Amino acid sequence: MIVEGREYTVPGLRYVIRSAKPEDAEALSDVRLQIDGETENMDREKGEAYIDAEGFEEIIKTDSDSPVNLFLVAETNGRIAGFSRCEGNNLKRTSHRVEFGVGVLKEFWGHGIGKNLLQESILWADSNQLRKITLSVLETNENAIKLYKKLGFEVEGVLKDDKRLSDGNYYHTIVMGRIQKLVDQ
């Protein structure tokens, strides 16, 4: 689905959160690759499950045409600083929920980009009668967990020893969800 863009101004940075466009595909491929190399909070190491520009073009087209998918980018001065994606499906039993994922370039951390991408996604989901948003977060990502809880997400489960990081240790993945209380139910 395509949504209207919204501008944000914070100390030292001005950016727009908007729906991804096909012309963003090449930059998104580069940004995703860079983010994967900047933090161990992602599922992938740099270069794993690489998506090229053509792959992103397909994802953007699919998401733009789907009422249960949303692909957002945060753009500052013509440059993509981060992105998020909500992916749903059309199966009757699970069509009420979407899964959220986000990535922000490290140089833009601390400007509320991840929080605003999530808030825009929540607003979209609530406006489109999508009752539940789910996400997964590494147990060591305490700032993200605090933010998710602040925005109404609850811990739904723990995947024990789910990821092995560069230190050789295994870490848990926290599964979280936010359920919108719909008025008509």
Confidence bin at 181 (pLDDT 50/70/90):
confident
Neighbour-count burial of 150, counting CB atoms closer than 10 A to its CB (0-12 exposed, 13-18 middle, 19+ buried): exposed
pLDDT in tens, 89-118: 999 999 999 999 999 999 999 999 999 999
pLDDT digits (tens, 9 = 90+) for 151-177: 999 999 999 999 999 999 999 999 999
**pLDDT digit string (tens) for 23-78?**
999 999 999 999 999 999 999 999 999 999 999 999 999 999 999 999 999 999 99
The pLDDT mean for the chain works out to: 96
* pTM exceeding the 0.75 threshold for the entire prediction: yes
Angle ∠(75,82,46) on CA atoms, nearest 5: 140
